């Protein structure tokens, strides 16, 4: 797989990464541990070098899984993880105080079976801790050799600038896909100006852009999509228009809708690295195939014109969670 660079300090990763959250958290029951480890290791064998996790996924169990899976390949891969919640618990609220960041790091190092974190993200902006203090703390950890690069997640443009002035930000991780294009207005120009990479999560629209979800799909009780307005039965039915648009180009290119969605993101900028997640080996192989799909200028123009005519129905988050982003 081709490589891409995140940030100005040369963080090299595969053009597609693997978002590992869904293996243990967020989209239903955790996958069998042995099978999850096999999936992660298969990704390595197929050229993926960039793996994303967080202490709050589980909490903690996802980091433990990723650590065990990647331990034999540690020097061949880039591991990204995140801090920012009290005791690593999303429900407990934010905590990006310096002491908590250090505690989170030590826990992550142990669970990930490593002596350094390649990319250490603030998971969400903490309104009670100046971003300059967060950046300064991570800067110290970089000097100590425990962290290689600093990242932010779902931060607004002003916050990105303030953090970057203290410690260069290698990457911003936020949602971005064919059906969530808000980053194009302000975030992407800011990242391009500052030389910061972009890591889109949910690049397949939480599975919707694969074309495998419709108004009749039933999610398990633990599935986060049950509370997402965009995934209400009514909105799933209305949003099939988005999928049909993707399918049309996929049929012309003789690839799958998921591969088109990933290729579209890769074609946006050379410093964009999507991190699709999956629990299935065949979906992993399909997603990796998206990195080889080449979209010509005419393809992108046609897709852009078609998407501009489609209205996406429903918010991407319930209101209580939407307050956490874009700070």
List the beta bridge partners of residue 18. Answer: 51
Residues 57/275, Cβ–Cβ less than 8 Å:
no
Specify the residue for token string 């331990």.
71
Whether 117 and 79 have beta carbons less than 8 Å apart is answered as yes
Q: Which of 27, 57, 176, 317 is catalytic?
A: 57
The tokens 């207005």 sit on which residue?
185
HSE value, Cβ hemisphere, 13 Å, CA-based, for 153: 22
**For this structure, is 121 an active site residue?**
no
Give the pairing type, strands 117-122 and 147-153: parallel
Give the Cα-Cα-Cα angle 159, 3, 266 (nearest 5 degrees). Answer: 65
CA angle 164, 168, 169 (to 5 degrees): 80
303-312 CB contacts, 8 Å cutoff, 24+ apart? 303/178, 303/245, 303/249, 303/260, 303/264, 306/245, 306/248, 307/178, 307/181, 307/242, 307/245, 310/241, 310/242, 310/245, 311/238, 311/241, 312/179, 312/180, 312/230, 312/239, 312/242
Among residues 181, 210, 160, 197, the alpha carbon closest in space to that of 271 is found at: 197
* CA distance linking residue 303 with residue 79, whole number of Å: 33
Return the active site residues. 57
């Amino acid at each position: 797989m081709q490589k891409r660079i995140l940030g100005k300090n040369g963080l090299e990763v595969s053009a597609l990464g693997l978002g590992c959250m869904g293996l243990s958290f967020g989209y239903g029951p955790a996958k069998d541990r042995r099978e999850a480890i096999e999936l992660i290791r298969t990704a390595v064998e197929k050229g993926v070098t960039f793996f994303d996790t967080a202490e709050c996924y589980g909490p903690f169990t996802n980091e433990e899984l990723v650590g065990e899976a990647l331990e034999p390949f540690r020097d061949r891969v880039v591991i990204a993880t995140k801090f920012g919640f009290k005791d690593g618990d999303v429900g407990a609220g934010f905590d990006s105080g310096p002491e908590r960041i250090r505690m989170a790091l030590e826990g992550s190092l142990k669970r990930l079976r490593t002596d350094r974190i390649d990319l250490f993200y603030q998971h969400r902006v903490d309104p009670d801790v100046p971003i300059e203090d967060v950046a300064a703390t991570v800067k110290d950890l970089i000097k100590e050799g425990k962290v290689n690069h600093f990242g932010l997640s779902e931060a607004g443009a002003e916050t990105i600038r303030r953090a970057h002035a203290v410690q260069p930000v290698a990457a911003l991780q936020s949602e971005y896909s064919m059906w969530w294009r808000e980053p194009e207005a302000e975030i992407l120009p800011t990242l391009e100006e500052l030389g910061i990479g972009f890591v889109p999560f949910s690049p397949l629209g939480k599975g919707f852009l694969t074309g495998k979800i419709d108004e009749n799909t039933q999610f398990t009780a633990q599935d986060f999509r049950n509370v997402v307005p965009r995934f209400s039965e009514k909105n799933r039915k209305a949003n099939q228009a988005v999928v049909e648009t993707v399918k049309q180009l996929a049929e012309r290119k003789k690839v799958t809708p998921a591969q088109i969605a990933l290729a579209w993101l890769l074609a946006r900028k050379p410093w964009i690295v999507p991190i699709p997640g999956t629990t299935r080996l065949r979906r992993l192989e399909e997603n990796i195939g998206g990195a080889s799909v080449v979209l010509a200028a005419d393809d992108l123009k046609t897709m852009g014109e078609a998407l501009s005519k489609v209205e996406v129905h429903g918010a991407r988050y319930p209101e209580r969670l939407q307050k956490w982003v874009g700070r």
